[in-house]
Chains A and B, each alone.
Chain A
Amino acid sequence: MPPPRPPARGGRGSHRLRLALLAAALLATVVGSLAIGAGHVPLGRVLSGVFSPDGGSRAELIVHELRLPRTLLGIAVGMALGLAGAVMQALTRNPLAEPGLLGVNGGAALAVVLVIAATRADDVLVCVWAAFAGAAGAAALVYLIGARGRGGAAPARLVLAGAAVNAVSSALTAGVMLLTPHTFGGFRFWQVGSLGGREMPVLLRVLPFIAAGTVLALLLARPLNALGMGDDAGRALGSRPGRTRVLGAAAVVLLCGSATAAAGPIAFLGLAVPFIVRTAVGPDQRLVLPYSLLLAPVLLLGADIIGRVSAPGELETGIVTAFLGAPLFAVMVRRGRTRDL
């Protein structure tokens, strides 16, 4: 028996059109991200900067060496965070779930601090692997704690376990940081979360993990729908809640771990995007997941562009996402669809 299908708002055709519009918006943001910044680059030079950077002009160099990696990273990180947030909220059946809440950011931060403290280097590539390991370790720990005891990994228990792991790792992070002041110097910048200053190799390191996580998450749309009806109803309909949770958690770790590793903790995107999407299209995960996948990078790149032009020395992406995402989120909460999940 196939898993249940919650009624979708609007027909299939209208969703195809809206997804296409969203994709067009993403394309426009990408062009904007390549063209807008501190150094002025005419639009014609942007294209040649991307595809044939042999001209050697300063404008083409800026586009190819700085803005292209930054934009590609923004797309990858945005997609990963939006999708991870959607999967996480479906898994925990909690609209408050986000990478920060399930301990992923905390674990990544602790690992980064330990590595910086031990090696005295803030090499971005080392941080990537450390953050990835930390994120995966923390998420696994959260799942193990949440799943022990009777009743399996119930949503509220998972979130509480996340809070516990987060508390421990952030306390240890603070401890390590305060005992080794040189760590603090490097870490305070990583902690904000930014797309800037990362080079192509960083993106290439995390890309396979993001790709794998994306495929896994998109395949889980139907089982997540079944899970949304509650464990018993889902099981009665022939789905396997335990397996869905394990696979979903794996997807979340892959996506959040690599996004946080590459860009640092980016506030709010994973929380706000699925929430906005659910308000617009309803709770059907077959729609929520692709919409989140496309909307998140639009917002992240948009925030990054705003950060580039809004302050003389650039505002970090993580700060802009928080300041844009939070009021929007507050408006949606006031509109009153807090019980969609």
Chain B
Amino acid sequence: MRVLRAGALSLRWEPRAAVVCGVLAAAAIGAAVLVVGSGEFPISPPDVVRAVLGQGDRATGFIVTALRLPRAVTGLLAGLALGLSGAIFQSISRNPLGSPDLIGFTTGSATGALLQILVFGGGAAAITAGSVAGAVLTALAVYLVAYRRGGGVHGVRLVLIGVAAAAMLEALNSYLITRADLREAYEAAFWLTGSLNGRDWDQAVPLALALAVLLPAALLLARPLGMGELGDDAAQALGVPVQRTRALFIAAGVGLAAAATAAAGPVPFVALAAPQLARRLTRRPGPQLLPAALTGAALLACGDLISLHLPVAVPVGVVTGVLGGVYLAWLLSTTGRKGTT
């Protein structure tokens, strides 16, 4: 780590983290370009770039910007949001398992969407609204139950309550699926796996807006978040308003997870794996928010690329689950340090 100083201003400059971020961003964008190029009418990467910049021929331009680009952009943005949300929650709970998948927010989001799909029979917009409402209500309930006067919200307690909420909502989800008509249940199960099929700008734009607000906000506030990992008392002693920081970050993390789930369904494992991978790639302690977000984007874009080139049509959630799981298993078996988990 180096520190750049100019008078009273100083900036921490971490060469390794910067290089890692650059490589991850390049990988994510490269994979997204290839995603846009894949399909029944293959388009070469240079043509894709030209079409995105508005310089290609009209037919290619239409296929790229109207049909395929929304999918690739939704994938990139959902990956960013999931990676960032995972990093936030893992840092708050000081537990590698405290990702939004495990503590109920993604499950609640799925419950909201399932209710729309199976009970109210709503369309795409209703499903989006349902999934956001589900995540926010779940988070609110978890936060309120975990809140204790005087002590505020403690990380471990938040995770444990979240796990309880997740178990309950999962039971509700399976109940809904067993009671539904087979075809509708199948559609719901497809959505539950996490998929980017048929996404258009209606899904990508709200997600982009959410990220435009929450990503810079989270990055600006990253330092108090990192100090929170030292423990509540130590952070308080360093002048961090622990409870306020935590509440703000929980709100941001829920917003990100909800927006991503609304757009792409509960894509598994990105939020769990991305922060872990980012921590190992940058070899830095503390929440690596930007690297984690970029890892998430790269993971989801690569997963989508692979799902498009498989001989059988599976949604991206199947690929990210297998890919992320195998990679995490490989990391676990090659690196032996206890402290890094």
Binding site for B on A (CB under 8 A): 95-96, 101, 145-146, 148-151, 154, 156-157, 159-161, 163-168, 170-172, 174-175, 177-179, 181, 184-185, 188-189, 191-192, 267-268, 271, 315-316, 318-319, 321-323, 325-327, 329-330, 333-334, 336, 338-339
Contact = CB atoms under 8 A, between A and B. Distances in A.
Contacts of A151: 336-338
Q: Which 8 A-B pairs have the closest CB atoms?
A: A171-B321, A150-B336, A149-B336, A322-B171, A168-B325, A167-B325, A148-B333, A175-B318
Contacts of A321: 171
B189 A145 contact: no
A26 to B, nearest CB: 24
Nearest to B151: A336
Contacts of B97: 96, 101, 159-160, 163
Contacts of A165: 325, 329
B268 A145 contact: no
A175 B171 contact: no
A116 to B, nearest CB: 14
Interface stretch (B178-186, B206-214, B245-253): B178-186
B38 interface: no
A82 to B, nearest CB: 16
Would you call the interface of chain A mostly helix, strand, loop, or mixed? helix
A271 B163 contact: yes
Contacts of A338: 156-157, 160
Given A96-B97, A319-B171, A171 B333 contact: no
Contacts of A154: 338, 341
A171 B319 contact: yes
B96 A267 contact: no
B19 interface: no
Contacts of A159: 97
Interface string B123-160: 00000000000000000000001101000000011011
Interface residues of B, number: 57
Contacts of B160: 95-96, 329-330, 333, 338
Nearest to B321: A171
Contacts of B329: 145, 161, 164-165, 168
A167 B269 contact: yes
A330 to B, nearest CB: 5
B174 A168 contact: no
B182 A185 contact: yes
A181 B184 CA distance: 12
Contacts of B332: 145-146, 148-149, 157, 160-161, 164
B165 interface: yes
A177 B185 CA distance: 12
A188 B177 contact: yes
A167 B338 contact: no
Contacts of B336: 148-151
A335 to B, nearest CB: 10
A194 to B, nearest CB: 10
Given A323-B168, A333-B164, 17 more contacts: A145-B332, A148-B334, A159-B97, A164-B324, A164-B326, A164-B328, A168-B329, A172-B322, A174-B315, A178-B186, A191-B177, A322-B171, A327-B168, A330-B160, A333-B157, A336-B148, A336-B157
Nearest to B147: A334
Contacts of A163: 97, 272, 325, 328
Contact of A157 (B175, B272, B322, B338): B338
Given A163-B328, A164-B329, A326-B167, A174 B178 contact: no
B312 interface: yes
A171 B322 contact: yes
A192 B164 contact: no
Interface string B250-279: 000000000000000000110011001000
A94 B163 CA distance: 13
A326 B164 contact: yes
Contacts of A192: 171, 174-175, 178
Nearest to B142: A330
B167 A271 contact: yes
Interface string B305-341: 0000000111101111110111011001111111001
Contacts of B192: 174
Given A145-B332, A188-B177, A322-B171, A168 B338 contact: no
Given A175-B314, A318-B171, A160 B96 contact: yes
A191 B174 contact: yes
